[in-house]
């Protein structure tokens, strides 16, 4: 039974039982506690916590949620049951059925025949576990389902009490296991061998709320949830493993094809060596997880989600290399995993080119890192051999890994090939310190679980009616007031308050568009609205200052949008749509929106793209955008279903969860058609001129364009014109000749600077020609310590030091030079001849010694090292310390 059929059977089973099917949410949700959705219940968290009433007719739902867990990336492939990406099939009850219902639903799906829509598993091979004191669940399994008591086992909190690992819903659980047979391990149930007895379904009896804590069983139970709920999670991959008759999740129809491709690309075979098998599994697992993350809009970066993706992709490349792959592999891996996953996720087909582009670009970048890292490793290995040692320091291996992204297992492999070892304990200690810092930083950044329950009354019973698409002023009623985080009945002058209205014309911040500004008035009372936020996608909360008078719950008021604000905001938001369309026309369909922010007169637009744009491309994008403005297209808005909107060709954004009814904004027919709830102009010409300020990188694979619209664009262009006129006047040339005149002046300046630099270098070399003859005799060494003239660069210091070292010839000579480069920095360099190195001189130690006196640091090889400091006053003391060091050598 193929995986997509397993998914369909699960969904159909629960839909027939009255559950509402809910599409998978994006892996990226706006939750401060989570990098990625890590459990099937995460999108339903507000309903479990009672912050919102579930919008499902029967109070039940079912979904197959995309999940990613990355806490133990290094462990992937070592076991054959865990994946970083997995599909969690779940059924949910919000105050409807509880333990008995959940157990019976699960049992019927697992054991009903294939002909009847079930999975057809043998009931005699199913075992269950329950929480230690959960007699109710144990009785249901035994008395209602008929499982013998000897196949019902009790486990403690670490195993059978579920939470997301962060504050939120939790409760005891009952897990269902499948006995794979004696060839997989010993008898005795899950307690005896959880490899033979594979967990396939976890039924969570969600009844409590947990507080802060670390680990699976070290947290506080804050109290009961408003209702007893059900949250279950069936591992789709594990069921596929059983129903397809394969040994592990890596050999199912989803992942085994990737392993087969990896065998074709490398010299290794799967199933021969354990170490190689781990690498094959890493390739398969990470290819899928990486692909799904890119699908949901993540791009490689150096922190957060981007760092996780980068790490996954680089582990694929590293593993393929260790298996013997000679070159590029990412394209074949990604194409293979997209083929296996598309039946379950059809949207992959529309994003195939973009996914490939992101993954292959990261591969190219990492292969360059490997090349430069190899050179750095060879330098480190040479230094170790020159010193007569056989072990590369843990600090050097860690620097290669942490600073240059060079994998430790490649360092170990190359060290072995060079006949060297690596101080693994030292490396592991530094890695442990880094992980501890990262965990502490991560905990510090978490905002905790935001308590939105104070808004629940209004979210559930009085959702705000937004009238702002048609009107800028409404007669409204105050249905709620908050001050200092608490509900109040009245507010007075001077207070910062939150106002909930039954109807409002003010747009709440969403989709990158800032909330409207405006006022609430009633007689002599005036509240200035500084921001509008949306709670639970239903409730508009107006953040305001009471500037005059006061307000009470129940008052009839007038809510008015600042007309100038709204006009300029609509211009900027509408311009964002046009720039997006122009980008795709110039760069192709892979240039997809990755984020945006617009406010009156200004917009910034982030998009997935791996290369910087040329001036010609930017000019073309700006021209296409303004041509669209000049076309005076009518801006049409259409409310329809999500499926119909996609069929029309409307673009949806990553990370957004859309309801059953969506709003399509169309400009110029197929030119621009997007799902969007923002406010827009009526005709494209109302946007006014659009001036692109420039573009830049904001992360690996993500670029950002900034632009002005309307009068802000006009003012910007006026300033640019005035600036050009000023430059033309200074050059005494017409504005059309300014670029050529500036280019000519720049060339002359470069030639003059080069001539001056050549003269300075010639003078410097002339001065240094006789330095070797002026060396002091110290402990058998020819020694020079000298500060050169101000303005001498680090490169010049190195040149002079090399010349002096060469002039020493066969002598044991040492030269240490420093200078002030004119920018406040103090570069310094140390060089030693072969004879000096043979006597134990290490230039790296000399620069470290000198650096300690001038607030600097540096390093290098025994014969040449350099560094930079900032305190020139310490140079003489530093030189004296260097001489003392040389004087103490035997």
- In CATH, what number is assigned to the domain containing residue 690? 3.30.980.10
Domain match, 36 and 182 both: yes
Per-residue confidence (pLDDT) for residue 449, from 0 to 100? 40
Domain match, 241 and 267 both: no
Based on the number of CB atoms within 10 Å of its own CB, is 827 exposed (0-12), middle (13-18) or buried (19 or more)?
Answer: buried
- In CATH, what number is assigned to the domain containing residue 862? 3.10.310.40
Domain match, 613 and 646 both: yes
Domain match, 279 and 189 both: no
**Full residue range of the structural domain in which residue 797 is found:** 770-887
- Closest Cα partner for 471 from 497, 505, 503? 505
Domain match, 430 and 460 both: no
- In CATH, what number is assigned to the domain containing residue 501? 2.40.30.130
Query: Packing angle between helix 408-417 and helix 304-322, nearest 10 degrees?
Result: 30
Domain match, 291 and 404 both: yes
Q: What are the CA-CA distances from residue 588 to residues 22, 612, 704, 714, 749 (Å)?
A: 32, 14, 16, 29, 40
The length of the chain, given as a count of residues:
890
Asked if the structure places residue 87 within a domain, the reply is yes
Domain match, 150 and 13 both: yes
Domain match, 536 and 572 both: no
CA distance 321 to 328: 9
Q: What are the CA-CA distances from residue 581 to residues 584, 656, 694, 852 (Å)?
A: 5, 19, 17, 57
- Angle at CA 362, nearest 5°, toward 358 and 367? 150
CA distance 464 to 461: 10
Domain match, 209 and 60 both: yes
Per-residue confidence (pLDDT) for residue 588, from 0 to 100? 87
Asked if the structure places residue 716 within a domain, the reply is yes
Asked if the structure places residue 847 within a domain, the reply is yes
End position of a domain, from candidates 445, 472, 497: 445
pTM for this one?
Answer: 0.67
Which secondary-structure segment (H or E) carries 139? helix 135-139
Would you say 241 is a known binding-site residue?
no
Indicate the SS3 state at residue 187: coil
- Residue environment code for 174-195, b if the CB has 16+ CB neighbours within 10 A, otherwise e: bbbbbbbeeeeeeeebbeeebe
Give per-10-residue mean pLDDT for the chain (890 aa). Answer: 95 96 88 80 82 86 93 76 90 94 97 95 96 94 95 92 80 95 93 92 91 76 86 94 93 95 93 92 96 90 83 90 90 97 93 91 85 80 84 86 71 80 88 71 44 75 88 95 92 94 95 93 95 87 95 95 95 95 90 88 90 92 96 94 83 63 90 92 95 86 91 91 86 85 89 82 71 88 89 86 90 93 87 94 93 90 92 93 91
Would you say 676 is a known binding-site residue?
yes
End position of a domain, from candidates 537, 561, 585: 561
Per-residue confidence (pLDDT) for residue 446, from 0 to 100? 41
CA distance 518 to 515: 10
Domain match, 539 and 669 both: no
**Structurally, how many domains does the chain consist of?**
5
CA distance 265 to 335: 14
Asked if the structure places residue 753 within a domain, the reply is no
Asked if the structure places residue 674 within a domain, the reply is yes
How would DSSP label each residue in 52-115?
S----TTSEEEEEEEEE--TTGGGBTTBSS--SEEEEEEEEEESS--HHHHHHHHHHHHHS-TT
Asked if the structure places residue 752 within a domain, the reply is no
**Contact yes or no for 175/203 (Cβ under 8 A):** yes
End position of a domain, from candidates 720, 751, 782: 720
Would you say 274 is a known binding-site residue?
no
Based on the number of CB atoms within 10 Å of its own CB, is 828 exposed (0-12), middle (13-18) or buried (19 or more)?
Answer: buried
DSSP tally for the chain: helices H, then strands E = 25, 35
CA distance 841 to 832: 7
Strand arrangement, sheet containing 857-860 = 776-778, 781-787, 813-818, 826-832, 864-869, 857-860
Domain match, 514 and 661 both: no
Asked if the structure places residue 143 within a domain, the reply is yes
Domain match, 473 and 598 both: no
Would you say 680 is a known binding-site residue?
yes
Asked if the structure places residue 761 within a domain, the reply is no
Per-residue confidence (pLDDT) for residue 728, from 0 to 100? 84
Per-residue confidence (pLDDT) for residue 653, from 0 to 100? 65
Q: Which residues pair with 635 in a beta bridge?
A: 667
């Amino acid at each position: 039974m193929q995986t997509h059929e397993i998914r369909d059977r699960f969904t159909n089973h629960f839909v027939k039982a009255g559950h509402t099917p809910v599409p998978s949410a994006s892996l990226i949700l706006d939750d401060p506690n989570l990098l990625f959705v890590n459990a099937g219940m995460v999108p339903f968290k507000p309903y479990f916590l009672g912050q919102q009433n579930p919008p499902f007719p029967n109070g039940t739902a079912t979904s197959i949620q995309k999940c990613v867990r990355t806490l133990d990336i290094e462990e992937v492939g070592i076991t054959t049951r865990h994946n970083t990406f997995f599909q969690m099939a779940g059924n949910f009850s919000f105050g409807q059925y509880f333990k008995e219902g959940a157990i019976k639903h699960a049992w019927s799906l697992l054991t009903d025949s294939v002909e009847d829509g079930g999975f057809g598993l043998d009931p005699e091979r199913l075992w269950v576990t329950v929480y230690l004191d959960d007699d109710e669940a144990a009785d249901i399994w035994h008395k209602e389902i008929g499982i013998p008591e000897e196949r019902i086992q009790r486990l403690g909190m670490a195993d059978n009490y579920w939470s997301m690992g962060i504050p939120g819903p939790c409760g005891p659980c009952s897990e269902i296991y499948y006995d794979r047979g004696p060839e997989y391990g010993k008898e005795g149930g899950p307690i005896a061998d959880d490899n033979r007895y594979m967990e396939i379904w976890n039924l969570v009896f969600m009844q409590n709320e947990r507080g802060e804590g670390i680990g699976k069983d070290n947290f506080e139970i804050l109290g009961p949830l408003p209702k007893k709920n059900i949250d279950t999670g069936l591992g789709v991959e594990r069921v596929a493993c059983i129903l397809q008759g394969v040994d592990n999740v890596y050999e199912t129809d989803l992942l085994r094809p990737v392993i087969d491709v990896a065998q074709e690309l490398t010299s290794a075979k799967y199933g021969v060596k354990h170490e190689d098998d781990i690498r094959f599994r890493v390739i398969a697992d990470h290819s899928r997880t990486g692909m799904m993350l890119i699908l949901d809009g993540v791009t490689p970066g150096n922190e957060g989600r981007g760092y996780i993706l980068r790490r996954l992709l680089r582990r694929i490349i590293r593993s393929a290399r260790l298996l013997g792959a000679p070159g590029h592999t990412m394209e074949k891996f990604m194409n293979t995993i997209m083929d296996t996953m598309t039946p379950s996720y059809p949207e992959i087909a529309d994003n195939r080119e973009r996914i490939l582009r992101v993954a292959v670009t990261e591969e190219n970048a990492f292969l360059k890192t490997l090349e430069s890292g190899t050179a750095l490793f060879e330098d480190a290995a040479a230094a170790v051999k020159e010193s007569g040692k056989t072990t590369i320091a843990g600090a050097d291996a860690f620097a290669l890994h942490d600073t240059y992204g060079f994998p430790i297992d490649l360092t170990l492999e190359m060290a072995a090939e060079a006949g060297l070892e690596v101080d693994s304990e030292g490396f592991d200690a530094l890695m442990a310190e880094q992980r501890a810092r990262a965990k502490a930083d991560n905990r510090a950044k978490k905002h905790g679980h935001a308590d939105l329950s104070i808004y629940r009354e209004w979210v559930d019973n009085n959702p705000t009616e937004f009238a702002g698409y048609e009107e800028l002023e409404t007669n409204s009623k105050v249905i709620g007031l908050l001050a200092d985080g608490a509900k109040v009945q009245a507010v007075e002058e001077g207070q910062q308050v939150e106002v909930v209205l039954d109807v409002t014309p003010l747009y709440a911040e969403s989709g990158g568009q800032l909330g409207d500004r405006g006022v609430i008035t009633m007689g002599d009372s005036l509240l200035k609205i500084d921001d509008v936020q949306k709670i639970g996608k239903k409730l508009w909360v107006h953040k305001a200052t009471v500037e005059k008078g006061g307000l009470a719950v129940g008052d009839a008021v007038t809510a008015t949008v600042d007309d100038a604000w709204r006009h300029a905001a609509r211009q900027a938001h509408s311009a964002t749509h046009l720039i997006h369309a122009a980008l795709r026309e110039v760069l192709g369909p892979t240039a997809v929106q990755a984020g945006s922010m617009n406010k009156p007169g200004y917009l910034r637009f982030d998009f997935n793209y791996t290369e910087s744009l040329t001036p010609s491309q930017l000019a073309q994008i700006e021209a296409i955008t303004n041509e669209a403005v000049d076309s005076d297209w009518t801006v049409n808005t259409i409310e329809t279903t999500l499926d119909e909107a996609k069929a029309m060709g409307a673009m949806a954004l990553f990370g957004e969860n859309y309801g059953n009814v969506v709003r399509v904004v169309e400009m110029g027919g197929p030119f621009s058609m997007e799902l969007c709830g923002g406010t827009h102009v009526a005709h494209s010409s109302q946007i006014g001129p659009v001036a692109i300020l420039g573009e830049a990188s904001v992360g690996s694979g993500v670029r950002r364009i900034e632009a002005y619209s309307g009068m802000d664009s006009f003012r910007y262009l006026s300033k640019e014109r005035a600036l050009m006129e000023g430059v033309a006047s200074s050059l005494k040339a017409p504005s059309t000749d300014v670029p050529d005149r500036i280019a000519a002046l720049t060339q002359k300046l470069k030639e003059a600077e080069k001539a001056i630099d050549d003269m300075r270098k010639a003078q410097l070399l002339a001065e240094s020609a006789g330095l070797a003859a002026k060396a002091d005799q110290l402990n058998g060494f020819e020694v020079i310590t000298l500060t050169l003239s101000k303005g001498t660069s680090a490169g010049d210091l190195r040149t002079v030091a090399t010349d002096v070292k060469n002039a020493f010839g066969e002598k044991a000579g040492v030269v240490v030079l420093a200078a002030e480069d004119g920018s406040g920095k103090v570069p310094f360099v140390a060089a030693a001849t072969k004879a000096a190195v043979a006597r134990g001189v290490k230039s790296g130690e000399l620069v470290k010694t000198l650096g300690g006196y001038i607030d600097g640091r540096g390093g290098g090889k025994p014969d040449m090292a350099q560094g930079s400091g900032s305190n020139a006053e310490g140079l003489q003391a530093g030189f004296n310390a260097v001489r003392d060091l040389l004087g103490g050598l035997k």
